[in-house]
């Protein structure tokens, strides 16, 4: 079954909201073994919508529309589709009663345009909406399937997961499964990564490998298609082993893993504590860690030492060091990491100091960053030369700090295992 997703709404074309529904639906359909060949976005215009739907029905087995089912005049999806299919719109009594009850419970008057949401295309199967007013619909037209879903993700997602997936499973005539796995890498460019696994890319058939670069990271999506889910998973395992064997220093997780989650998992496993001293990042590192559930189990706290005075007063960094080497230096980064570790009694101290820009500081160019790491047995700092905007330099500094910390934690884990 080949599918097309048609998102309806001028706000999507204007960039006022992102088309997250299409991304979500593509992932879900992929898991069901349905090929998604087209994404289309069309505004609230009856003529253009008609042509888009006509094209979709001519080239796809399954057409899923999102949006345009609301009560206002610019909600045109079901009216336009009914015209295209030469079918009438009729009131669905159950949906209408639910809408009436909704307004009654809230002591509000239901207007005629709200009643419009109970109109459905004749002959369609109603898909209940338990999180909103507009019901979904599924219909057959000349051996094609058309599914209509509401636009708000808070309504679409539960409707699709609870109502639509069972419906689609019954419609599918084959038992093939498409399964994917995402591998995540840091501190390596896409071109370098691709070069290292070039032979795997050249010979790929099933599973396949697709690289994608974003936000200073690189991901690989492994995809396999087959009739046995267990065998599919084994194929993904085997391919992942081959890829990670070559890229192990840069590999940090799978799926929705983040660098901060990978770090926090190892800190918990090893029962290690962490603290931080931040200058140019201004608390971003602490924010990243404390956004995780249970962060208090491993993160003792952080200091924002944005000025030299605060570096001296809060963490005791000597004026002699600051005058001799400057705040933007290996020496300062190491002193900050050591002092924050000692003052908080943590196993690990991490520090960030540098120039985020846009102007230079201490005669040093924006993008020069030092990350310090201190443990009982080790004191080290890393120099970074980052490009981009002020916010981008700060964000990437935090990621590099997490990456260096992850590398150290993995090294410690190997010592324990040995």
State the pLDDT at residue 36: 94
pLDDT at 179: 82
Can you give the pLDDT at residue 386?
Answer: 95
32, 138: one domain: yes
Closest to 118 measured CA to CA, from 140, 137, 105: 137
| Residue at a domain's end among 236, 254, 272 | 254
Q: What is the pLDDT of residue 212?
A: 82
Does position 173 have pLDDT exceeding 60, yes or no? no
Percentages (nearest 5) of helix, strand, coil residues in the chain: 45, 25, 30
pLDDT-derived band of residue 213, with 50, 70 and 90 as boundaries? confident
**Cβ neighbours of residue 166 under 8 Å, at least 6 residues apart?**
none
pLDDT at site 152: 95
For residue 246, what are its two tokens?
């070559």
Positive or negative torsion for Cα 398, 403, 409, 411: negative
Q: Within this chain, do residues 291 and 350 fall inside the same structural domain, yes or no?
A: yes
Indicate whether this model's pTM tops 0.85. Answer: no
CATH number at residue 223: 3.30.70.2860
User: Last residue of some domain: 254, 288, 311?
Assistant: 254
Give 225-283 pLDDT, tens digit per residue.
Answer: 888 889 999 999 999 999 999 999 999 999 889 999 999 999 999 999 999 999 999 99
Tell me the residue range of the domain where 78 lies.
2-171
Q: Which residue has the higher pLDDT, 111 or 262?
A: 262
Q: Give the tens place of pLDDT for each residue, 100-110.
A: 998 888 888 88
Residue 172, pLDDT above cutoff 90: no
Residues 6+ apart with CB under 8 A from 389: 357
Residues 76 and 212 in one domain: no
Q: What average pLDDT is seen over the chain?
A: 93
Q: How far apart are CA 236 and CA 180, in angstroms?
A: 8
- Residue 183 scores a pLDDT above 70: yes
**Residue 15: left if φ>0, alpha if ψ -120 to 50, beta else—which one?**
left
Helix (H) / strand (E) element for 256: namely none
Tokens linked to 167: 């419906």
Please tell me whether residues 232 and 263 are part of one structural domain. Answer: no
Per-residue confidence (pLDDT) for residue 342, from 0 to 100: 98
Question: Are both 20 and 163 inside the same structural domain?
Answer: yes
Residues in a beta bridge with 368:
385
CATH code: domain of residue 296: 3.90.950.20
Structure-block tokens of residue 165: 């997936």
Q: Summarize the confidence of residues 180-209 as an average pLDDT.
A: 93
Q: What CATH number should be reported for the domain holding residue 65?
A: 3.40.980.10
What's residue 362's pLDDT? 96
Residues 101, 80: Cα–Cα separation, whole Å: 28
Residue 142 Cα distances to 62, 139, 214, angstroms: 11, 10, 42
Nearest residue to 301 (alpha-carbon basis) of 279, 280, 276:
276
Low-confidence winner among 6-10, 165-169, 210-214, 222-226 (lowest mean pLDDT):
210-214
Q: What is the pLDDT of residue 175?
A: 59
Residues 194 and 267: beta-carbon distance below 8 Å? no
Q: Are strands 348-354 and 274-278 parallel, antiparallel or unpaired?
A: parallel
Residue the block writes with tokens 């790491």: 373
Query: Based on the domain organization, do 215 and 293 belong to the same domain?
Result: no
Four-residue CA torsion sign, 226, 227, 232, 234: negative
Q: Give the separation between CA 399 and CA 187, rounded to whole angstroms.
A: 9
Dump pLDDT digits (tens) for 125-138. Answer: 999 998 989 999 99
271 and 383 housed in the same domain? yes
The Cβ of residue 122 has, within 10 Å, a number of other Cβ atoms equal to: 11
**In this structure, what token pair is assigned to residue 365?**
């160019």
Does residue 165 sit in the same domain as residue 89? yes
What confidence score (pLDDT) does residue 174 get? Answer: 58
pLDDT of residue 225: 84
How many domains is the chain partitioned into structurally? 3
pLDDT, tens digit, 9 for 90 and up, residues 194-208 = 999 999 999 988 999
Q: Which region, left, alpha or beta, applies to residue 271 given φ > 0 means left and ψ of -120 to 50 means alpha?
A: left
Q: Verify that 383 and 407 share a domain, yes or no.
A: yes
Mark whether 214 and 279 lie in a shared domain.
Answer: no
| Each residue's pLDDT tens digit, 64-102 | 999 999 888 888 999 999 999 999 999 999 999 989 998
How many degrees, rounded to 5, is the angle at CA 118 between CA 116 and CA 122? 105
Of 200, 228, 254, the residue that ends a domain is 254
pLDDT tens column, 269-307: 999 999 999 999 999 999 999 999 999 999 999 999 999
- Same-domain check for residues 165 and 210: no
Residues 397, 352: contact at Cβ < 8 Å?
yes
Q: What are the beta bridge partners of residue 8?
A: 42
> Are both 214 and 286 inside the same structural domain?
no
pLDDT, one tens digit per residue, over 325-384 is 999 999 999 999 999 999 999 999 999 999 999 999 999 999 999 999 999 999 999 999
């Amino acid at each position: 079954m080949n599918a097309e997703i048609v998102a309806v709404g001028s706000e999507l074309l204007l960039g006022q909201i992102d088309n997250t529904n299409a991304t979500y639906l593509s992932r879900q359909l992929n898991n069901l073994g349905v090929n998604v060949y087209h994404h289309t976005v069309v505004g609230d215009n009856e003529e253009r919508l008609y042509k888009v739907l006509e094209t979709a029905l001519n080239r796809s087995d399954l057409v899923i529309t999102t949006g345009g089912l609301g009560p206002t005049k610019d909600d045109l999806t079901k009216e336009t589709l009914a015209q295209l299919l030469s079918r009438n719109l009729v009131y669905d009594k159950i949906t209408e009663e639910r809408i009436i009850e909704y307004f009654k419970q809230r002591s509000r008057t239901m207007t005629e345009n709200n009643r419009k949401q109970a109109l459905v295309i004749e002959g369609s199967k109603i898909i209940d909406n338990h999180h909103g007013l507009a019901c979904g619909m599924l219909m057959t037209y000349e051996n094609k399937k058309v599914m209509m879903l509401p636009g708000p993700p808070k309504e679409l997602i539960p409707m699709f997961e609870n109502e639509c997936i069972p419906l689609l499973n019954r419609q599918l005539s084959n038992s093939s499964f498409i399964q994917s796995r995402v591998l995540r890498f840091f501190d390596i460019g896409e071109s370098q990564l691709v070069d290292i696994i070039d032979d795997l890319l050249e010979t790929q058939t099933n599973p396949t490998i697709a690289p994608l670069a974003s936000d200073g990271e690189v991901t690989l999506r492994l995809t396999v298609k087959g009739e046995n889910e267990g065998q599919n998973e084994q194929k993904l395992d085997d391919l992942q082993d081959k890829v990670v064997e070559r890229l192990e220093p840069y590999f940090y997780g799978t799926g929705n893993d983040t660098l901060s989650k990978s770090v926090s998992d190892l800190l918990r496993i090893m029962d290690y504590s962490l603290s931080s001293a931040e200058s140019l990042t201004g608390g971003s590192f602490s924010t990243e860690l404390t956004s995780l559930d249970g962060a208090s189990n491993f993160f003792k706290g952080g200091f924002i030492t944005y000025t030299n005075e605060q570096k001296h007063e809060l963490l005791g960094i000597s004026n002699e060091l600051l005058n001799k080497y400057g705040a933007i230096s290996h020496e300062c980064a190491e002193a900050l990491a050591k002092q924050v570790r000692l003052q908080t009694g943590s196993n690990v101290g991490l520090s960030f100091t540098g120039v985020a820009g846009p102007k230079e500081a201490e005669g040093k160019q924006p993008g020069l960053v030092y990350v310090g790491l201190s443990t009982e047995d080790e004191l080290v700092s890393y120099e970074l030369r980052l490009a981009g905007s002020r916010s981008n330099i700060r964000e990437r500094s935090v990621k590099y700090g997490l990456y260096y910390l992850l590398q150290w934690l993995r090294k410690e884990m190997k010592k324990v295992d040995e």
